[in-house]
Amino acid sequence: MLKSIAKATLLAAALSLPLSLTPAKAEVKTDFKVCWSIYVGWMPWGYLQDSGLMKKWADKYGISVEIVQINDYVESINQYTAGEYDGCSMTNMDALSIPAGGGVDTTALIVGDYSNGNDGIILKDKTELADIKGQTVNLVELSVSHYLLARALDTVGLSEQDLTVVNTSDADMIAAYQTDDVTAVVTWNPLLSEIEAQPNATKVFDSAGIPGEIIDIMMVNTETLADNPDFGKALTGAWYELMAIMSSDSDEGVAARTAMAEASGTDLAGYDAQLATTKMFFTPEDAVAFTKSAEMPKTMKFVAEFLFEKGILGEGAPSPEFVGVSFPDGSVYGDAANVKLKFDPSFMTMAADGTL
């Protein structure tokens, strides 16, 4: 949940980063650090560190990998962008706006999941999305909630000009909805479920309506990965060993999910409920297929246009195509001379082929 909560400071964080930010010089090395923050799809990173699975795979390649939890999501991305970490868990949207937009060449190493109902729009005393026209909508501005609203409005021929957006802290969202003058909110779980359970509340759209667009990824520094492929192999191998465990109903799988649930402040039932609205790619084959899909370039185009419209696609960006994004088929969206975000399924493919 902190992943989304911290996005309230996204605009300030993005605009405060100089365009020329570069990470620590990439080089052949043996010690690595990656960071993550609390979110259902990223809880496995903490478990990898605590269970010793990460050490097992790092030892296999003669390296060390430390996985560090950072409570502030945007701060974790800022620290990665500044070169304090070699990798960081983040969404596709934030990877484009902060490290890539700030000039740090970044690679999507492990495409872990996408939101499939964790984010939604709720109306009070209305039952159709089109009824949102003319209303005041409370949400965390410039977050994934804002992006979800923009995409939802497209589906009913509306735009943000047809309503009024009010920036509202996640901490105030439930209380705000209970007041008479708040009639529409966009938020995420667990707030979404709590508000939906209230009288006269109807969820009229959620992220299941834009499958594959809010993507959660372990991003790594491209130069570091190129100079140290064993780093990518160890991370990927550890991740998919755990995916096989946690997706099972074995005692080991239940124990792993229970530990993740407790670490995220809920119980097993609560964590499994969150997983139900998260499309986890438990197998590398599924992750590779998704990354190679024809929908990925379309998604990143939508995201780039949204970020540009909101003024957070890198300092002085002249168009949505300011930052180049490359895809597995060799195609590029945006400036081919400024490719700073790469979707490269090579290491996930190794996992699928059993060659790690």
**DSSP β-bridge partners for residue 88:** 35, 219
Q: Which of 192, 209, 226 is the last residue of a domain?
A: 209
Both 218 and 202 in one domain: the answer is no
Considering only CA atoms, which of 161, 211, 163, 217 is closest in space to residue 186?
163
Both 240 and 313 in one domain: the answer is yes
Both 101 and 219 in one domain: the answer is yes
Number of domains in the chain: 2
Both 292 and 263 in one domain: the answer is yes
Both 349 and 270 in one domain: the answer is yes
Predicted confidence at residue 25, as pLDDT, reads 54
Alpha carbon separation from 206 to 29, 58, 200, 342 (Å, rounded): 43, 39, 17, 28
Both 59 and 151 in one domain: the answer is no
Predicted confidence at residue 189, as pLDDT, reads 76
Phi-psi region of 342 (alpha: psi -120 to 50; beta: other; left: phi over 0): beta
Predicted confidence at residue 40, as pLDDT, reads 87
Both 271 and 148 in one domain: the answer is no
Both 336 and 228 in one domain: the answer is yes
Q: Confirm whether 14 is domain-assigned.
A: no
Q: Confirm whether 6 is domain-assigned.
A: no
Sign of CA dihedral 128, 142, 318, 320: negative
Host domain of residue 194: 119-209
Both 109 and 145 in one domain: the answer is no
Q: Confirm whether 202 is domain-assigned.
A: yes
pTM of the model: 0.83
Both 188 and 42 in one domain: the answer is no
Q: Confirm whether 20 is domain-assigned.
A: no
Q: What is the pLDDT along the chain (356 residues), one digit of tens a residue?
A: 434 434 434 444 444 444 444 444 568 999 999 999 888 899 999 999 999 999 999 999 999 999 999 987 878 989 999 999 999 999 899 899 989 999 999 999 999 999 999 889 999 999 999 999 999 999 988 778 889 999 999 999 999 999 999 988 877 889 999 999 999 999 887 778 889 989 899 999 999 999 999 999 999 999 999 999 999 999 999 999 999 999 999 999 999 999 999 998 889 998 899 899 999 999 999 999 999 999 999 999 999 998 998 888 877 899 999 999 999 999 999 999 999 999 999 999 999 999 99
Both 171 and 70 in one domain: the answer is no
Q: Confirm whether 158 is domain-assigned.
A: yes
Tell me, what CATH number does 62's domain have? 3.40.190.10
Q: Confirm whether 10 is domain-assigned.
A: no
Both 107 and 239 in one domain: the answer is yes
Q: Confirm whether 165 is domain-assigned.
A: yes
Predicted confidence at residue 171, as pLDDT, reads 76
Give the residue ranges of DSSP H helices in 199-267. Answer: 222-227, 229-246, 251-263
Q: Do 173 and 180 meet the contact criterion of CB atoms below 8 Å apart? A: no
Q: Which of 180, 209, 238 is the last residue of a domain?
A: 209
Considering only CA atoms, which of 243, 237, 221, 216 is closest in space to residue 32?
221
